[in-house]
Chains A and B, each alone.
Chain A
Amino acid sequence: MAIFDIIGPVMIGPSSSHTAGAARIGYFAREIFGDSFDFVEVDLFNSFADTGKGHGTDIAIIGGLLGFEPDDPRILHSFEIATERGIKFRINWNKEENEDLPPNTAKITFYENSTPFYIVGNSIGGGKVEIININGYEVKLSGKHFALIISALDTLGIAAYITNIIAKSGINIASMDIKRDSSIGESLSVIKLDSEFPDEEIAEFYKNPHIKNVIKIRKLSE
């Protein structure tokens, strides 16, 4: 831990897990999905649903979804600002305990032209968070790295194809995790990178017909 993590972070209170962490999940989700949504649904689970109202978990997540960092005082007025920006939202307080999910969990579903895309995040304490699911793919992202999440048909040589493109762009791979879902014949690669993968080179991946989807994740600021 750094001294600035102990005398810090600077954050909107009252709780690092239920408020700062919640804002960060929203912020992270927006980093992943982008800002082209007109409706967003937030499902709160377990402790988030239980004590979230008193901790401002709902307004913190909406604040994060508007692009406010955990120390941005605009969080307090996030509902009004969302409405001003023409963004509709719904908060669902899931009162029943869900034992399959961690204590402080939020599922955020974006709708762009009524197509849903969801992200599940979990606040692990001290304002730190993890994204644990992106549209059905299990992941584990903390925002400390730039990353690429690539789903592809599980075919021979697909990993080599992917790493080759990354190598050509001159970027170092910090770690790579490949999971296979044999029931649908798909693989999911989560690749953490030392620096940001250039937007204009994303198209390279799609030249391989087996690659279905590429999501780029930016590193979050401290």
Chain B
Amino acid sequence: MIKKVKFKTFKDLKAQVLRSGLTLPEFLKNYEAVNQGITVEEAEKRMKLRLNVMKKNIENGLKHPNVSRTGLTNGGAYKVKEFFENKGALLLSSEFTEVIMNTLAVSETNACMGRIVAAPTAGACGVLPGALLTIAKHKNISVERLVDALFVSGGIGEVIGKIASLSGAKHGCQAEIGSATSMAAGAIVSIFSDDIDAIESAAAFAMKNLLGLVCDPIGGYVEIPCIKRNVSGAFNAISSAEMALAGIRTVIPFDEVVLAMKRIGEKMSPTLKETAEGGLATTPTAKELVKRIKSG
């Protein structure tokens, strides 16, 4: 009989992976299968369904301008796409523009009540597909590898959830976009390398870069600044992954970075944790917009 497995920290996870002789994604697939009482094949199938939802979000999110119920989201992804199709990449390569476009497409789909995969939350759902799927397309990555990468991102998220929290109400945006970007960075590395230290470093870099980020959505709606923060989260994940793949290693272990995130979150004023009572949410323009939305 297979025992249920548990890990509380990345260090703990790494030790178990090394002991098992499996790769990180293989270990995590087994872990989830055992804990859910399903086969590894079934676990892969379930993850593939999630991957397909992400793919659809990119495809459909670029078909026409996405407009939300509040009107705060108004066709950003489509604008980037049209510009790209007419004039090509503006500043860097087409891959760069595609990351912007794809991430916006998913996050706007969420804002407009589309069917998305919370990763780890709905507000941060654009980061992982925006970064991972754009790279996968350009590097011809197989579905199987992508499924594996999603398990890696889930494992990183689980560590964050155990040490700190994935909730903006608890630790601010650093726990939402911060967690998503960490998860995406590790996932990207796992496509190109089985080195668990590289995966850890990428996740650590990504989280470190967004420590202290507050959650201050206008009117409490998951739109401004959330949607564009997904784009910055996607790029942060990619640059973190590239640094780790090139061999840079984190000085502060991932577990300690997450602990720092938790401590910062605990010190953060409640007005900056999803309550829309501080930061951007209380700017004069934001207040004016909210008044208009609520009266209309």
Contacts and interface: CB of A to CB of B under 8 A. Distances in A.
Answer whether A and B are interacting partners: yes
Interface of A: 1-4, 6-16, 19-20, 47, 50-51, 53-56, 59, 71, 73, 75-76, 125-127
B50 A8 contact: yes
B221 A10 contact: no
A127 B222 contact: no
B49 interface: yes
Interface in B129-156: 150-151, 153-155
Top 4 A-B pairs ranked by shortest CB distance?
A13-B110, A3-B154, A6-B157, A51-B220
Interface residues of B, number: 52
Given A12-B114, A12-B115, A6 B220 contact: no
A89 B94 CA distance: 49
A13 B161 contact: no
Contact of B223 (A6, A11, A14, A75): A14
Given A1-B158, A2-B36, A11 B167 contact: no
Contacts of B118: 8-11, 16, 20, 126-127
Given A13-B113, A50-B220, 14 more contacts: A6-B119, A7-B150, A9-B118, A10-B53, A10-B118, A11-B118, A14-B111, A14-B122, A15-B222, A16-B118, A16-B122, A55-B69, A56-B69, A125-B169
Contact of A19 (B31, B47, B113): B113
A54 B122 contact: no
Given A3-B28, A14-B110, A55 B35 contact: no
Given A4-B36, A13-B116, A55 B154 contact: no
B119 A7 contact: yes
A150 B31 CA distance: 39
Interface in B59-89: 68-70, 72
B178 interface: no
B101 interface: no
B133 to A, nearest CB: 13
A30 B211 CA distance: 42
5 contacts: A2-B36, A4-B47, A6-B154, A7-B120, A53-B69
Interface of B: 28, 31-32, 35-36, 46-47, 49-50, 53, 68-70, 72, 109-123, 125, 128, 150-151, 153-155, 157-158, 161-162, 166-167, 169, 183, 219-223, 276, 293-294
Contacts of B128: 7
A133 B122 CA distance: 28
B116 A10 contact: yes
Contact of B109 (A2, A13, A51): A13
A4 B32 contact: yes
A125 B166 CA distance: 11
Contacts of A2: 32, 35-36, 158
A126 B167 contact: yes
B32 A11 contact: no
A1 B32 CA distance: 10
Nearest to B36: A2
A51 B219 contact: yes
B108 to A, nearest CB: 9
Contacts of A73: 114-115
Nearest to B69: A54
Most buried by B among A2, A15, A47: A15
Given A3-B32, A7-B150, A75-B113, A14 B123 contact: yes
Contacts of B35: 2
Contact of A10 (B117, B121, B150): B117
Nearest to B179: A6
A6 B120 contact: yes
Contacts of A76: 113
